[in-house]
A = this chain, B = another copy of it.
Amino acid sequence: MNIEKSSNIKKDPVEIEGAKDVEIRWLISEKDGAENFAMRMFELQPGGYTPLHTHPQEHEVFVLEGEGTFVFEGQEHPFGTEYVVFVPPNKEHRFMNTGETVLRMLCIIPTSSG
């Protein structure tokens, strides 16, 4: 069991090609005993974005704060606070902070062992 204020969990920069001004907190992961899926929180500064990429894991996203654009297979979809996004596997996508404040969102993915 683990219960914790999320802001107390360490935040790291996302230093991968194609990402700009993105930070991540691993809120729940395999080290907590989560065998099937992991919960991360992303913070994107205004103008920041995640890489335009494709991968075999699905994403489940919940927007906590801010607004942005979800790019999915070449189409742009605007979103705001409390939007939910299901990103199926193997589809090109990117999240962009198009607002003037921080964009924070949860993103849940299957673990490698899940």
A84 to B79, CA, bound (A): 24
Number of copies: 2
Residues in A lying within 8 Å of B, measured CB to CB: 1-7, 9, 27-28, 32-37, 39, 58, 60, 62, 64, 70, 72-73, 77, 79-80, 82-88, 91, 106, 108, 110, 114
A27 to B85, CA, bound (A): 9
Chain B, Cβ-Cβ closest to A70: B3
Residue of B nearest to A7 (CB): B82
Q: Is the interface of A mostly helix, strand, loop or mixed?
A: strand
Using Cβ atoms and an 8 Å threshold, which residues of chain B touch A36? 36-37, 58, 110, 114
Residues of B contacting A32 in the complex (Cβ-Cβ under 8 angstroms): 86
Chain B residues closer than 8 Å to A85, beta-carbon distance? 1-3
- Selected from B6, B37, B60, B86, the residue in CB contact (under 8 A) with A84 is B6
State in angstroms the CA–CA spacing of A27 and B88 once bound together: 15
The answer to whether A86 touches B33 (Cβ under 8 A) is yes
The contact sample of 5 A-B pairs, CB cut-off 8 A, is A1-B85, A3-B84, A27-B84, A28-B84, A36-B37
